[in-house]
Structure 1
Amino acid sequence: MSAPDVFCQIVAGDAPAFEVLRTDTLVAFLDARPLFAGHTLLVPTVHVRTYAELPLELAREWVDTSQRLERAVEAAMGADGSMILMNNVVSQSVPHLHLHVIPRKKGDGLRFWLGPRRPYKTDAEAQQTADGIRRALSELP
């Protein structure tokens, strides 16, 4: 069995973190390598790696808490807005589901990396892609 990831260690109290919230099912704490002051992570206390693995019984609390956390981070940091993001496997630095709440201010210099954009070459290609996703959705439980 592999060693627990650092977020499991934080949940267990075995690794330090600057916590901002703790419930029986969720923990929020400051990112150790923040993009900006106030950059906060939200993790479930149960170990899951991806968003698809988040137990449905936690989904409502996850959404409610992430929305409250977004408002709190923005208010505490005097931010104009925020960036909310999750990575699933690719670019996931810790293999434990975590949501980033990153306070943003106009002109803060952050250049988000959603690029280069790759538009569909034709409407037919876009339709084929939409059809494939729709088909995959219909095959899921």
Structure 2
Amino acid sequence: MGCIFCNIVNGTIPAKKLYETKDSLAFLDAFPLARGHTLVIPKNHYDKVQQMSKQDNLDLFETVQVMAGRLESVFSSVLIAIHNGKESGQEVPHVHVHLIPRNASDGAGPVHSMFPKRPSLDENEFEKIAKIIGNK
């Protein structure tokens, strides 16, 4: 059957489409975390963000911007999230951006609440990490 999101793009699997460009598609998540939970995907298949072409990246994030505005006009606040790889929680290996309407009583909390086992880094460790990442 292949990639579920590619099948949505080609029309094999139906979806509640909200917005579409030549290179991206926004639709309601079939398993929403909140009313209005929307996914934005590139129409071309990429597993991770860093694999995307410049054009697909620009179009995807322009669509995210449009949809975030639409959702905020209805729901007031929107969490924008990308799981980039299996270890980060990505369940479908096709780039997708979650736009999840939020409110003060939804109980979800800030992103930091997802990580109960946070590292305690001293200044030397911060410097090492900054040099490793910054020199790539």
TM-score using structure 1 length: 0.87
**2:26–2:63 contact (8 Å) kept in structure 1:** no
- CA RMSD in angstroms comes to 1.3
Largest Rg, 1 or 2: 1
Alpha-carbon contact 2:81-2:99 (below 8 Å) kept: yes
Would you identify which runs of 4 or more consecutive aligned residues in structure 1 move more than 4 Å?
none
Amino acid at match of 1:74: E
| Partner secondary structure for residue 99 of structure 2 | strand
Amino acid at match of 1:51: V
Secondary structure of the residue that 1:102 maps to in structure 2? strand
Pick which of 50-59 and 29-38 moved more: 50-59
Q: Which residue of 1 aligns with 2:9?
A: 11
* Unpaired runs of at least 5, structure 1: 137-141
Q: Percent identity?
A: 32
Conserved 8 A contact 2:5-2:94: yes
**Secondary structure of the residue that 1:47 maps to in structure 2?**
coil
Counterpart of 2:84 (choices 88, 99, 115) is 88
What corresponds to 1:125 in structure 2?
125
Residue of structure 2 in register with 1:139 after alignment: none
**What residue number does 1:109 align with?**
107
- The count of aligned residue pairs is 131
